[in-house]
Structure 1
Amino acid sequence: MSRPVRQVVAPWVRTRLRVAPGAAGALALLVALAACLAGAGPRAVDRYEDAGLRRAFAQARPDRTTVQVTAPQPDPGLPADRRAAALRPAALERQYASIRTAPGAPLAIDPAQSMYGVAARVNLPVPDPWLPRPSGLPAQVALFAPSGLAEHARVRTGRLPRADRPADAATAEVEAAVTAATADRLHIETGSVIHVPAPGRPPLRARVTGILLPRDPGGAYWSTVPLLRTPALMTVPTPGTDQPRYWLGGLLLPQGAAPALPGTGPDPVRYPFLPPDPGAPPAHDLGALKSAVAALESGPGLRRARAATGDDGTGVTTQLDDTLASFARLRSGIAPLVSLAGAGAATVVAVVLLMAGALAADRRRAELALLRARGAALPALAGRLLAETAVIAVPAGALGLLGALLAVPAGRTGYSVAAAGAVTLTACAALPLRAARAHRTVRSSVPRADLATERPSRRRTIAELTVLVLAAGAVEALRRRGPAGDGLVALAPVLIGVVAALVLLRLTPFLLRRLTAPAGRLRGAVVPLSLARASRTQASAVLPLLALLTALSTAAFGGSVLAGVATARDRAALLAVGADARVAFDAPPPATTTARVRAVPGVRSVAPVGIDYQAKPMDGQDSVPLIGVDPVSYGELADRTGLGAFPAVELRPSGGTLPAIASPSVAARYGTRHPFTVRLQDGSSATVRITVVRDDTPALPGGDFLVVDRAGLAAPADRPTALFLTGDGLSSSALRRAAGASATVQLRAVERARYATSPLQSGAEHVYTAAVATGAGFAVLALLLSLLRAAPERAALLARLRTMGLTRAEGRRLLILESLPQSALAAAAGALTGWATTRLLSPALDLTAVALPDTATVPARLRPDAWSLTVPALLLLATTTGIAVTQAWWTVRRGAGTELRAGDDR
């Protein structure tokens, strides 16, 4: 008896991958790219925020960021030996080791810059006559016994101070050291003896044994108390103009000499100085970091510090919380803008992934319909499609995540994994969900739905109204509360794009029907046929239209944001300089200087200006800057810069009176009807009358001023003290060579570049630009997918029409004209949506945090940018036309044979 033949069934997934390797590769590439971008986004945000926090720490002085713990000397009622023992190095080191653990996580301490020791609370005047006395007052010294002196300084002359025998309050002489800056300004040399007053006993002799050079002068060790490094010329506040001054310098004692400090005055203090590690705290832990600082100042951290010192009088002071608060304000102003761009890019990426699944489902609609007709269960069919997609998408998503982690090595990994996982999950679920929806009913074929004939269902109408209500609520919330709201507020531009897409889908059939009738009266069949074809576009075009409108509105909104940032920086730089370049002099320069500066390459025009800041109108006490100008050149400068433009004839002298241009406050103070006298700083005077009022002027934008013709001023007031230049490619070194070494040169380009050096601001700008570019790139991909989806049907139609006599040129025009109506409508709607989004959201968004530093006074407003509105729309039309031309060329080139083969069911 023969054995039965066992039938081998090929696995579904392997069969599908072998049948369509190109589609599988394209899906893997799409998922890998999307996962890489999604995974890199959160880490890029973390990276620039961390860099911004480190920059905030670096810009703040160590005396503002260091945690300073101070404890009084031990109880005076204790025996002298016990009080001295508490100030010796071993006891101080134990206390320091305990206090270092007082700050809670994530506040990390930089051990390399930390220090501890004993310091005199009161600065003591020393009677030594050889110390400099600028106003006859004796110099004062501050006594410090710091730790780690040998590690943080090198000896220029002499040696480090030592304490050869134990010191106490009765010690008569100690060794000391000073820094080179202190030695040079206070005339201290190696071997000098400084007599420090001590109440009730002879002065303490401090013998200087070494002159030290700090290894890291800017570090927290030397800069927490700058007096350790550099002496200060102090001023005694007294009535009158002459303020008495005296020198104050620091004397550095060995730690073993710390017990001698109680003999010089009351209550020396023990101090650990704990500078934070600027590279340790991540920006996303800012809230915990602020809580740790607060707990250290008046919470559990303070209790731990008091327990370590054994004294309830121990205090903790720091201004680190001010630095953190300033950074938090800047970040809170920047983060919403980045979230808006990220939401738009994420929406476009999600739409493209859904379109890829829809394209695969439509490509296999006959196969899936046949399987359902032969009894395939819908859950089983969806499960096989999910497995088929997951085999491709999961490894591609993991590869994209790995690329993101390698491209952006810093930042949190959890958010990147979640973002890449969301991309992978969307890619896996798109095909099975689309297929399950399309084939939930068993049928032999899928009916075609045309945009011009299909009536929207009741559920679709309800969904569209829901989206409309959400969009209106999000926009209103953003206008009321600002951008610091919930996630719905961040999705406001996306929801506006969704509403625009739904409205356009409703209007498209109506518009196309209105165009079809006039086109039917034209000669030839290409135009009417193309409009008829456009009106029969499938109703599932909502996804590519949503991607296009979201990308266009995001690009227009993002371009307006970037244009607003650039405009604000240009304006701030112009107000700071007054022209493209400014050359200022301490005294009037030689007459040939203007000609030499005008000959510098790149200089287009020069406006000589003389400014007298101490001019006093009506011989009063209030001074108003008087600006003497050449009316022609200065008028051209004001017109070119937009800062108070005026005709040159307005400054033409009339008799002995000089017409003047004044700021509004000066005009209100002195009037515009009658002349008045202005007394200049050199003693001369001029009679002026205000004839023109302007808010700004290039020489002093935003301030009080009087502008007159300098030809009417007496010498030397008629000579210029500054040159205002316009031109391109100006070089500060070339201008300085032409103007002289004593001249001060300011360039507008340099001033503008200074506004973009903040890592937080520049990083946010780069991430924003990348998000907009990502949305635009995936929108083009969505357009390609939509055209690829219709390519087989269009090719078959063109082949049939070719057999009916349609020429190649007519076929090319047919494919091009068929794609233009919807692309033109999408481009117009995208530009209109971008304009509306910008106008609706501009009252709630302030770009100042992104554009300018905290100290800037120039507001940065969001306004629609014409280039950002028109360029993306024109690029969309150009891309659509280019794709249609390429498809038409390829279809016509292939011929009709391959499209009209037997069994063609398209």
Structure 2
Amino acid sequence: MTNWVRLRLRAAPGAALALGVLVLLTSFLAAAFPRGVDAYESHAIRDQISAASPDRSAYQVTSGPPGAQRPQRERAAALAPGPLGEQYREVRERLPDLVRFDPAQSAYGVRTPEALVASDAWLPRPDGLPPKLTLTAQSGLAEHSRVREGRLPRGTGPVTDDGGAEGAGQTDRLEVEAAVTRDTAKALGLRIGSRVHLDAVGTTALSARIVGIVDPRAPQKTYWSIDPLLRSPGLATEKVAGDTPKHFWVGALLLSPDAGPSLLSATGTPQTFWRLANDPSHLTGREVTRLREQVAALENGPTLVAMREAIGPTAAISTEVDTIVGEFGDMRKAVAPVVAVAAFGVGTVAAIVLLMAGGLAAARRRAELTLLRSRGGSLVGVGRRLLAETSVVALPAAALGFTLAVVLVREVRLVPALLAAAAVAALACCALPARAVAAHRRTLTSMERTDVVRAKPSRRRVVAELTALVLAVGAVAALRQRGTASGEVDALVSAAPVLVGAIAALLLVRLYPLPLRLAARPATRRRGVLGFLALARAGRAQATGALPLLALIIALSTASFGGSVLAGVDDARERASILAVGADARVDDSKGLPKKLAAALREVPGVRQVVPAHIEYDLWLNDDGDQVALVAIDPAAYNRLARHVGMGQVPEKALRGDRGAVVPAIASPGVAKRLGTGPQKLRPLGGDITVKVAAVREGTPATQTSEYLLIDADRLARPYPTAMLMAGSGSHGSGIDMAAVRAAVGTGATGADRGADAAARAAGLTPRQGDDAGKASARGEGSVRVKARAEEYAGLADSPLQDGTERLYAAAVAAGAGYAALAVLLSLLQATPERTALLARLRTMGLTRRQGRRLLVLEALPQALLAACGGVLVGYGTIRLLAPGLDLTRLALSARAGFDELGTVRLHADALSLVIPAVGVVLLTLAVVLAQAWWSGRRKENTELRAGESR
């Protein structure tokens, strides 16, 4: 056996090398796929936790003060850094294995549970209310801050049994040293030496003396961001009975870590805390379910009981990691069935190509194997020899492909990739022996025809075809009925495109002889011989040609399916970004924009058009409280903008109308129904008008509200621009220089700061909802908002799970196209010896080289056109059949809210994805055939035709 293998490898090193390369690539793809899925899922969950705000992702352990029955000195001693540090270590030891944290950003300490009122009259009061401040004695203040002025605060000494601090004197007021950040000092007017008097709720009045102003180190990380008040103050609201909500400042004073005991006498009930910064770098996508279970046990389970045994019976643990992980799980469930469809398609095509490679080798060695059988070789013996040949090549190649996948895609599971590579190796090893044994089970005479015209399907084949048909119908019905919203990966449903392609290929093979017969009849009456000969040759192709056709159709349908998925996702994001911005870029200010701003924006690089618009979002239609958006804009300019962004235009003539007292308007369906057909008086800020609905349109890019009224800006008495809509160059307006736009507008922000609401929530106060412009005004900021369509488009695909899925589909499209090319090459190479011998014979009869090329092209075209047309039709039919069951919303929009108008994002056929792979197959076929004709033309006829050969 060893000598046989050695001789065969020496006799055909090129064939062995080609098989090794094919197995290597297929094994690499098979092993890289599950590792790639694991990798991007792991990256996605880590990124999702890291991108969440620290107050959501961190683990916060809190506890009340020591028991009131204990002496004051003992209660105060329990709040010192030493005991708190011991409890911190016990908390760390009791955490589950998947709950890991970053010690550098974690901290512990004592804080006032509620903000205390600062009674000093010199502190700023936006609406007449005094500010409220929290006091926090947190560990690691020196390591996480940089002293800008003064020094860091020091402790006040131990607390005595009467409630005061030792050395503080017998007074009714306790003074502590505090530091503030630069933002807090600027907002509240604090400086070194300032004394802030706080209305204490404990036994001793409290005041704080500012001894230092610090700058946070890494202010966006957990140490400073888990409680936003530590870093910067914010505005909160308080609603007084019978009055409008009023705003006041909330902030934080930073005490020395040793000053925790002093808060016991000042507040009576200080809160101890241990804040653990989340470290998700170890998490993998497959551990998400177990992490949720451990977090649940940490919040309300046995782990919480263990924590209370360590730090006290009032201990509580809060985190939103379970919510974050749940959002990731929902996203993964939404995309997993879509990914499975691509995996089944590419995997099937790869398996067919490996079988075709075995079939090609078996056909090339038919004479050799026939000789072995005639000399007494058994089927088992022949199979063993061929298995040994292929194993020597396929097993090392599969191992090398697996190794490459492991090296390139790291830190994920080995078992799925190993099983996939092993399946490829097994198929590659068994393809040649199985095809050879099947072909030599019975002896064929040289006169028997096995072409597609004469071959009759066996009963077994009919049963197999009917079974595949039933499975395909069931898969399509299941996918259309259940869809992919459940998130469960069903093998039958995922294989629906493959089954549809298989049925179509079998049907085309059955119908293929009919057009050949019909085309051959008129060809017999023509003077030239090439047409008839080419059709006769095409009809004499072997019946086993169904396998290349099956590979081509499934590969083409997989490529078109994947391309349509990517095109559908891109189209949904395109429409969503238009709905979010309404133009390539826009500037909004409800208070009004200067008219000269339009001229300045036109000078910005990349801006091609600027359309000023007057937009009011709170126009009252009647006394019942109905509010809609009023859009006053130049119709001609608006239509140019609408054409650019791809949204519906408005009838300019209807808006212009006559210059009478009644103003024609374009209304949304809901507004048109409420206004009716007659004139209606309205009172916008731009001047009173009487409007009448002239036309109804579903939406407008000028406003993001569904209920609107659009009029000609010239019909307002006092129009003033509140928005500037811009059209620019590049995809999604990416050619616009947004930095220059913001510089022209005079703002560097894209919206109002949300820090105030977060600060209010951290202080336990009611945040003000809405009115971002008023909040920005109270803080001395502008109310201008700048939005860019390219930024919105990019934001819709900011999840690594989306990015990984899209790259996987792009790889599926490329792999499908590559395997289609391999299928074409293998099918043409299988007939190369016979085709070369035919040309040699015909040239001895006077056929020219040019006629030989035409003959080969005409012979290959029917099958190539059949595969191309079949691929297009099957791809289109598959998309139409499966589109109702595929939900691409999560994949396209990253679970973003605010795009209800888009509805569910469904799969739709993309013309380029359907046509380009099919055209590529035809062109590749022609290129290979012409190359074969050129190569055979260089060789002499006597080298191809030898006496005694049967070719």
Does the C-alpha gap of structure 1 residues 776 and 535 become closer, same or farther in structure 2, counting only changes over 3 Å? same
Distance change in 2, residues 1:180/1:167 (3 Å): farther
Give the 3 Å change call, closer, same or farther, for CA 444–651 of structure 1 in structure 2. closer
Identical positions, percent = 49
Match of 2:164 among 163, 170, 186: 170
| Structure 1 residues 825 and 282, CA gap change in structure 2 (3 angstroms) | same
Aligned to 1:188: 190
Cα offsets for 1:454-493 (capped at 9, x unmatched): 1111111111111111111111221222223422211111
CA-to-aligned-CA distance 1:782-820 (integer Å, 9 cap, x gap): 110111011001111221222223222222111111111
Question: Is 1:543–2:547 an aligned residue pair?
Answer: yes
Name the residue aligned to 1:486: 490
Say whether 1:887 aligns with 2:892: no
Residues in 1 aligned to 2:600 and 2:65: alpha-carbon distance in whole angstroms: 67
For residues 613 and 669 of structure 2, the distance between their equivalents in structure 1, rounded to whole angstroms, comes to: 21
Which one-letter code corresponds to 2:737 in the other structure?
Answer: S
Instruction: Supply the distance in 2 between the matched residues of 1:798 and 1:485 (Cα, whole angstroms).
Output: 52
Pairwise CA RMSD: 2.6
Higher mean displacement: 295-304 or 767-776 = 295-304
Letter in 2 for 1:704: E
- The equivalent of 2:95 in structure 1 is 103
- Tell me the secondary structure at the aligned position of residue 941 of structure 2: coil
Q: Is the CA contact (8 Å cut-off) linking 1:167 and 1:258 kept in structure 2? A: no
Which residue identity is paired with 2:653? V
Q: Residues 701 and 439 from structure 1, CA distance in 2 versus in 1: closer, same or farther, beyond 3 angstroms?
A: same
Native 8 Å contact 2:610 2:724 kept in 1: no
Partner of 1:72: 64
Identify unmatched segments of 5+ residues in structure 2: 166-173, 748-783
Query: CA contact under 8 A between 2:201 and 2:268: conserved in structure 1?
Result: no
Change (3 A) 1:604 1:187: closer
State the partner residue of 2:475: 474
2:231 to 229, 232, 257: 229
Which residue among 849, 865, 868 is the counterpart of 2:913?
868
Contact map agreement 2:156 2:262 (CA 8 A) in 1 = no
**Residue 785 of structure 2 is aligned to residue 782 of structure 1:** no
1:152 corresponds to which residue?
144
CA offsets, 1:587-607, max 9 Å, x none?
A: 666666556655666655554
Alignment of 1:579-728 (within 5 A): 579-584=583-588, 594=598, 605-617=609-621, 622-639=626-643, 641-654=645-658, 655-672=660-677, 674-682=678-686, 684-714=687-717, 716-717=718-719, 721-725=723-727
Deviations 1:643-684 (A, max 9, x none): 342321101243221111111111111112x212221215x3
Seen in structure 2, the aligned counterparts of structure 1 residues 52 and 582 have a Cα distance that, compared at 3 Å, is same
For residue 548 of structure 1, report the CA deviation from its aligned partner.
Answer: 0.2
Q: In the alignment, is the contact (CA less than 8 A) between 1:732 and 1:747 conserved in 2?
A: no
**In the alignment, what sits opposite 2:269?**
267
Are residues 619 and 316 of structure 1, via their aligned partners in 2, closer, same or farther at CA, if it must alter by over 3 Å? closer
Deviations 1:469-522 (A, max 9, x none): 111111122122222342221111111111111111221123322322232222
Separation in 1, partners of 2:495, 2:436: 29
Aligned match for 1:773, one of 794, 814, 820: 814
Residue 220 of structure 1: aligned partner: 222
The superposition leaves residues 102-140 of structure 1 with CA deviations (integer Å, 9 ceiling, x where unpaired) of 332322222221112222223222434443333443332
Alpha-carbon shift at residue 313 of structure 1 (Å): 2.5
Aligned length: 894
CA 1:154–1:608 in structure 2 vs 1: closer, same or farther (change >3 Å)?
closer
2:67 aligned counterpart, secondary structure:
coil
Q: Distance in 1 between matches of 2:698 and 2:916?
A: 35
Alignment map for 1:505-544 (pairs within 5 Å): 505-544=509-548
Q: Hey, what's the Cα distance between the residues in 1 that align with 2:865 and 2:338?
A: 29
Q: Secondary structure at the match of 2:831?
A: helix
Match of 2:452, SS? coil
Shift in Å at residue 568 of structure 1?
1.0
Partners in 1 of 2:707 and 2:39 — Cα distance? 44
Residues 836 and 944, structure 2, Cα contact 8 Å, conserved in 1: yes
Given that 1:373 and 1:442 are in contact with CA atoms closer than 8 Å, whether structure 2 keeps it comes out as no
Structure 2 CA distance for partners of 1:15 and 1:121, relative to 1, 3 Å: same
The answer as to whether partners of 1:596 and 1:738 remain within 8 angstroms in 2 is: no
Amino acid across the alignment from 1:660: A
Within the candidate set 282, 287, 310, 1:280 is matched to 282
Q: Quote the Cα distance in structure 1 between the aligned partners of 2:849 and 2:249.
A: 95
CA 1:76/1:337 → structure 2, altered by over 3 Å: closer, same or farther? same
**Which among 113, 121, 127 is matched to residue 119 of structure 2?**
127
TM-fit CA distance, 1:50: 2.4
Partner of 1:554: 558
Structure 2 counterpart of 1:258: 260
**Shift, 1:557, TM fit:** 1.2
* SS of alignment partner, residue 269 of structure 2: coil
Partner secondary structure for residue 278 of structure 2: coil
Q: Is contact 1:626-1:707 (8 Å) kept?
A: yes
SS in 2 for 1:134: coil
Q: For the Cα contact (< 8 Å) 1:198–1:265, is it kept in 2?
A: yes
Q: Retained in 1: the 8 A contact 2:108–2:275?
A: yes
Task: Specify the alignment match of 2:576 in structure 1.
Answer: 572
- How much does 1:17 deviate? 0.8
Aligned to 2:169: none
Secondary structure of the structure 1 residue equivalent to 2:438: helix
Q: What secondary structure is seen at the aligned counterpart in 1 of 2:562?
A: helix
Distance 1:737 1:632 in 2: 27
Structure 1 length normalisation: TM-score?
A: 0.93
Letter in 2 for 1:331: R
**Which residue among 285, 306, 331 is the counterpart of 1:304?**
306
TM-score calculated relative to the size of structure 2: 0.89
- Is structure 2 residue 947 aligned with structure 1 residue 902? yes
Summarize deviations over 1:237-261 as a string: whole Å, max 9, x none. Answer: 2245543333332223333332232
Counterpart of 2:86 in structure 1 is: 94
Residue 773 (structure 1) shift: 0.7
Larger CA deviation: 790-799 vs 163-172: 163-172
Could you tell me which residue of structure 1 aligns to residue 362 of structure 2? 361
Deviation at 1:277, TM superposition (A): 0.6
Whether 1:748 aligns to 2:789 is: yes
CA distance in 2, matches of 1:693, 1:762: 39
Decide whether the 8 Å contact of 1:196 with 1:264 is kept in 2.
no
Asked if residue 378 in structure 1 is aligned to residue 370 in structure 2, the reply is no
Aligned match of 1:209: 211
Q: 1:145 to 1:445 in 2, by over 3 A?
A: farther
Q: Give SS of 1:892's match.
A: helix
- Stretch of structure 1 that moved more, 96-105 or 23-32: 96-105
8 Å contact from structure 1 (residues 293, 320) kept in 2 = yes
The 8 Å contact of residues 203 and 267 in structure 2, kept in 1 or not, is answered as no
Equivalent in the alignment of 2:342: 341
**3-state SS of the aligned residue for 1:244?**
strand
Are the aligned partners of 2:598 and 2:724 in contact in 1 as well (CA < 8 Å)? Answer: no
Q: Gaps spanning 5+ residues in structure 1: where?
A: 1-8
Matching residue's letter, 1:314: A
**Are 1:243 and 2:237 an aligned pair?**
no
- State the distance in 1 between where 2:546 and 2:534 align: 20
Find the aligned partners of 1:336 and 1:664 in 2 and give their Cα distance.
Answer: 37
Q: 1:588 to 1:218 in 2, by over 3 A?
A: closer
Matches within 5 A, 1:326-475: 326-441=327-442, 449-475=450-476
Letter in 1 for 2:560: A
Give 3-state SS (helix, strand or coil) of 1:275's partner: strand
Shift in CA distance, 744/875, structure 1 to aligned 2, threshold 3 Å: same
Which residue pairs with 2:765 in the alignment?
none
Counterpart residue type for residue 628 of structure 1: A
Comparing 66-75 and 585-594, the one that deviates more: 585-594
Superimposed CA distance per residue, residues 708-761 of structure 1 (whole angstroms, 9 cap, x where no aligned partner): 2222221x3166753443655742359739965468654433432332333221
In 2: Cα distance, 1:581 partner to 1:177 partner:
43
